Structure 1
Amino acid sequence: MLVVEEFHGTQVTKQRVEMVERKGTGHPDQICDCIMDSISVALSQAYLSEFGTILHHNIDKGLLAAGRVEKRFGGGEVLEPMELTIGDRATFTLAGKEIPVHDIAVAAAKGWIARNLRHVDPERHVSYRLKLAPGSQELTDIFARPGEVMGANDTSAAVGYYPLSPTERAVLALERELNGERFKTLYPETGEDVKVMGLRTGDELDLTVAMPLLAERVASERDYFERKHAIETAMQHFLAEACRGFRRTRVHYNTLDQTGRALSGVYLSLLGTSAEDADSGQVGRGNRVNGLIPIARPIGTEAAAGKNPMSHVGKIYNVLSHRIARDICKSVDGVQGAYVMLLSRIGDPVDRPQMANAQLVMEPGRSVAEVEGEVREVMQRQLSGITEFCNALARGVYPVC
């Protein structure tokens, strides 16, 4: 069923207060999400290569347990590695042929770490614990049933929206800048564990940023605070150029720091992530699929990372709802914003949701009745192309972390 209606809530940009968070590349929760999804992509491609189809798997249970390090100004040592638990379900055999699921999973995890965490050695700094087992007979059977479009393996709801608010764009842009190649070249002493919390009050934006400095590149407490000041100034300059439209923008960086307390008063890291000794991570506690944790928006509860891209609506609908909302706003004149909610019923084909609801924010003087037909066409077009969309998910074309 497709239902198109007017959005009756208060638009987030018209609310006096807006809060938005983003966890960056090296945050333990983000690490878990990205690694589990990279394993799903690797398994999907291995299944396709071996059998010509994607088999049942859900690699969406993961835990990164913090290790132990000893830090000092100028360096330090890893005393105990981080431990990554990779869990849930996968297909290990088909037609008498075995799939090296554990080897594929560990290789994908190590590959992601090597590509994204500059100072983490995936061989020495991380140990791997695998708790993967075959799936239940009924859920596995979904993949053996006839039909081009698979049945949903869960009854689940998802919501997406478009466009991003200026606050959301600012938070997203700042983290991407801090973990981008340009910034890391200019400030190689910064780690990847970035967290940005944005608070907009009226037309003023207040950003609180956490990002460690690498112990081996900081010679003393004085050196730390000098570098910190330069980095904070660079953030402010970036926001002034890239995120205009606010009457005032303030950045607060590593606010737990305190002078005169030596190592106890500074945010140093040996490997660039707090998972080295301070903070563990878990799948589903990080960003939503659009890269943000938007406190003022409706958000789903599913952890999309690592879920099967062909049948698990917890992944498919989470990403698709945002794409449909964007398509509506980009292609239908008169629509300023859209919220899209999708609801599956377990066993029903994923291209036929039990409910697809679009709530529209219209331009002044325009009505939903004028555009309802066009909006329905957009939604039907996106749903009819779901097989191609799912295959793209399986290749990692649409990142979920």
Structure 2
Amino acid sequence: MAFLTIERLYGKPVSEMKVELVERKGLGHPDYIIDLLCESVSRELSRFYINEYGKILHHNVDKGLLVGGESQIKFGGGIVTKPIEIFVAGRATIPDDNYSLIEELAIKAMSTAINNNFRFLDPVRHMHLNVLIRKGAVELRSLLEREREPLANDTSFGVSYAPLTDTEKLALGIERLLNSKEIKDKYPYIGEDIKVMILRNKNKLKITIAAAFIDRFISSVSDYKNKKNEVLDIVDEYVRGMLGGNYKYKIYLNTADNLKRKKIYLTVTGTSAEMGDDGNTGRGNRVNGLITPNRFMSLEAVAGKNPVSHVGKIYNVMASYLSNKIYEELSDYISEVYVRILSQIGSPITKPQTLHILYRMKAGKNTQIKNDIRRIVEDTFTYDTFKDVTKDILEGEYLLF
């Protein structure tokens, strides 16, 4: 593996830095919604191609735009007055120039994704779903549609790391908790649009949460205030359980509220997308579900890219898979590991320009650590693993955003 470089990092790991910033855009955030819809179209096309042709054909539907609608909120239940506009654009293999078939598949995929993830957002009544998918370039189609391993269809890179810090785990965990079925069943007034931002300064955490409330379950400003306190109690119990006594923390919820003026965070459907908040594919979370400015990151939009040859997707997921595997096997010796993979368009995906592994040692020495990392990479960075990763992406096994 001439392309493999293994390098030791020095200095403090992120968990020991004085300041750490972590963000999680949740299920109902406009950026998350458009990522979800682009990815749902890619998976539907992939399944169609497999069923019809025995393999995934060329497609990339990673150019998505969500244009927020308009609504009139009201205690006890308001209405959406102007629908959310969704535009999913990209390129695909279109059998017999049957554009209507591709549009039908895309509309079906997006509608199913909304129905499966949202309780009060209706893809027919509250949204307009627009499909702008055209034929792909011949030279890019040929890079994927080979009997041998596919060739990279872009010059791009993927980046990931392991393990997550306590702050990262907390940001992810809070959003997942508030969007869990258990919480939604017990506290149905909590909408899906939840954003978590955490600032850690040494051992002090400032946790800021924006959570949409659903107006049909709120009777008054006083009722809203009481329900906010319920949510704060839910989060506080979770944070205490996660952190123990290792950190001091303060939780802030919907800090833009002005109760005296009745300016509160209410929605009809559970997402701010209903009232003017817009979204773009790739503006949300990275492959591990987080936005982490303390880390190396790629700005690639993973959602909607084909899971076979588009390195903007497959390399980011492979970097995540590889970094976690290295850390799991060598966690006695290393505190952090980063993986960066750079492709060359037209080259096999298993032969990148570089595969750069950076690791940070714990106290003590292990003179064999580079050999151990090399062994793991050589055993893992294979075409068989790429095929497994593609299959797992289609089955929803990876947190892509």
Give TM-score, length-normalised by structure 2: 0.95
Task: Tell me which residue corresponds to 2:215.
Answer: 215
Query: 2:55 maps to which residue?
Result: 53
AA matched with 1:134: K
Q: Is the contact between residue 13 and residue 336 of structure 2 (CA under 8 Å) also seen in structure 1?
A: no
Equivalent position of 2:303 in the other structure: 305
Paired residues for 1:232-381 under 5 Å: 232-244=232-244, 246-262=246-262, 265-332=263-330, 333-367=332-366, 369-381=367-379
Q: Which residue of 2 aligns with 1:7?
A: 9
1:8: Cα distance to partner?
2.8
Look up the equivalent residue of 2:9 and give its one-letter code.
Answer: F
1:293-352 alpha-carbon deviations (Å, 9 max, x no partner): 011111011111110100000000111111111101111352222011111000111111
Over aligned residues, Cα RMSD in angstroms? 1.5
Which range moved further: 310-319 or 371-380? 371-380
How far apart are 1:76 and its partner, in Å? 1.0
Structure 2 CA distance for aligned equivalents of residues 320 and 376 of structure 1: 16
The farther-off stretch of 327-336 and 219-228 is 327-336
User: Is the contact made by 1:69 and 1:78 (CA closer than 8 Å) also made in structure 2?
Assistant: yes
- Report if aligned partners of 1:352, 1:383 keep a CA contact under 8 Å in 2: no
Residue 131 of structure 1 corresponds to 132
Report the CA distance shift for 1:275/1:375 in structure 2 as closer, same or farther (over 3 A).
Answer: same
Deviations 1:66-109 (A, max 9, x none): 11111111111111111110101111116x88882111111010
Query: Within 5 A, what are the aligned runs for 1:24-43?
Result: 24-43=26-45
Q: Which moved more, 1:68-77 or 1:164-173?
A: 68-77
Code of the aligned partner of 1:108: A
CA deviations 1:346-373 (Å, max 9, x no partner) are 0111111111111111121124x41212
How many residue pairs align between the two structures?
396
Indicate if the aligned counterparts of 1:310 and 1:391 stay in contact, CA closer than 8 A. no
8 Å contact kept, 2:35–2:304: yes
Question: 2:102: which partner in 1?
Answer: 101
1:144-178 C-alpha deviation (Å, 9 max, x unpaired): 3441x100001111211000001001111111001
Aligned to 2:260, what secondary structure does the other structure show?
coil
Match of 2:163 in 1: 163
**Aligned partners of 1:106, 1:9: CA distance in 2, in Å?**
50
| CA distance 1:389–1:99, shift in 2 (3 Å) | farther
Question: 2 CA distance for matches of 1:198 and 1:121?
Answer: 32
SS in 2 for 1:155: coil
Cα displacement string for residues 215-252 of structure 1 (whole angstroms, at most 9, x for unaligned residues) = 11111111111111121122111111123353312110
5+ residue gaps, structure 2, are none
Contact 2:258 2:264 in 1 (8 A): yes
Distance in 2 (CA, whole Å) between partners of 1:340 and 1:167 is: 21
| Letter paired with 1:86 | V
Q: Where do 5+ consecutive residues of structure 1 fail to align? A: none
Amino acid in structure 2 at the alignment position of 1:344: S
Contact between 1:328 and 1:335, CA under 8 Å: does it hold in 2?
A: no
3-state secondary structure, aligned to 1:260 = helix
Q: Secondary structure at the match of 1:293?
A: coil
Deviation at 1:388, TM superposition (A): 2.4
Q: Identity over the aligned pairs, expressed in percent?
A: 38
In 1, distance between residues paired with 2:35 and 2:245? 32
SS at match of 2:316: helix
Q: Using the TM superposition, give the Cα deviation of residue 140 of structure 1 relative to its aligned residue in structure 2, in angstroms.
A: 1.3
For residues 191-230 of structure 1, the aligned pairs below 5 Å read: 191-230=191-230
Inter-CA distance 300–316: structure 2 relative to 1 (3 Å threshold): same
What is the identity, as a one-letter code, of the residue corresponding to 1:142?
L
Name the SS for the 2:368 alignment partner: helix
The answer to whether the 8 A contact 1:64-1:280 is kept is yes
Give yes or no for contact 2:66–2:278 (8 Å, CA) kept in 1: yes
- 1:345 counterpart letter in structure 2: Q
- SS of alignment partner, residue 100 of structure 1: helix
Residue correspondence of structure 1 range 374-393 to structure 2 within 5 A: 374-384=372-382, 385-393=385-393
Q: How far apart in 1 are the matches of 2:280 and 2:83?
A: 17
1:389–1:242: structure 2 CA closer, same or farther, 3 Å change rule?
same
* TM-score normalised to structure 1 length: 0.95
- TM-fit CA distance, 1:374: 1.7
